[in-house]
């Protein structure tokens, strides 16, 4: 067991080369982040919320969605971020959520 842990923590040159070869054709995830000051996620057609996205918020990676809140007047209306507890379910909104960047969630894995 100790040897297995050592191998995981201290990969060999072959492990690194294999990992590099495996990942060479993957897109650079960092190039996919969208600055929230430049663009927000699109709302779903005929809905007041977006699809769930990965968001960088307060130094944490979170699954979030964007909501449009209709207030009494234009000063009470606007977008608000919601932390999603499940990928297709409940969440919690908070005026203090202020993500800096977001990106679409990856596609669900397929079973071979």
Q: What is the pLDDT of residue 38?
A: 94
| Res 102 pLDDT > 90 | yes
Q: What is the pLDDT of residue 5?
A: 46
107: CB partners within 8 A, 6+ apart? none
Assigned domain for 24 exists: no
Assigned domain for 75 exists: yes
Assigned domain for 17 exists: no
Assigned domain for 52 exists: yes
| The total number of structural domains that make up the chain | 1
Assigned domain for 71 exists: yes
Helical H segments across the chain, by residue range: 2-9, 13-23
Q: Are 78 and 68 in contact (CB under 8 A)?
A: yes
pLDDT of 83-97, one tens digit each? 887 665 566 666 678
Assigned domain for 59 exists: yes
Residue, of 112 and 19, whose pLDDT is higher: 112
Assigned domain for 19 exists: no
Domain that holds residue 81: 29-104
Q: Are 91 and 84 in contact (CB under 8 A)?
A: yes
Assigned domain for 46 exists: yes
pLDDT of 21-80, one tens digit each? 544 554 455 558 999 999 999 999 998 889 889 999 888 898 999 888 887 776 778 888
Q: What is the pLDDT of residue 4?
A: 46
Q: pTM of the entire structure?
A: 0.63
């Amino acid at each position: 067991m100790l040897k297995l842990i050592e191998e995981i923590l201290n990969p060999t040159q072959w492990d690194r080369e294999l990992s590099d070869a495996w990942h060479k054709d993957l897109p650079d995830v960092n190039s996919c982040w969208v600055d929230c000051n430049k663009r927000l996620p699109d709302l779903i057609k005929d809905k007041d919320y977006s699809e769930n996205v990965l968001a960088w918020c307060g130094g944490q990676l979170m699954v979030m969605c964007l909501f449009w809140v209709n207030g009494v007047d234009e000063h009470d209306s606007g977008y608000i971020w919601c932390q999603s507890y499940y990928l297709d379910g409940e969440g919690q909104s908070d005026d203090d959520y202020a993500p800096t960047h977001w990106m679409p969630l990856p596609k669900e894995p397929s079973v071979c």
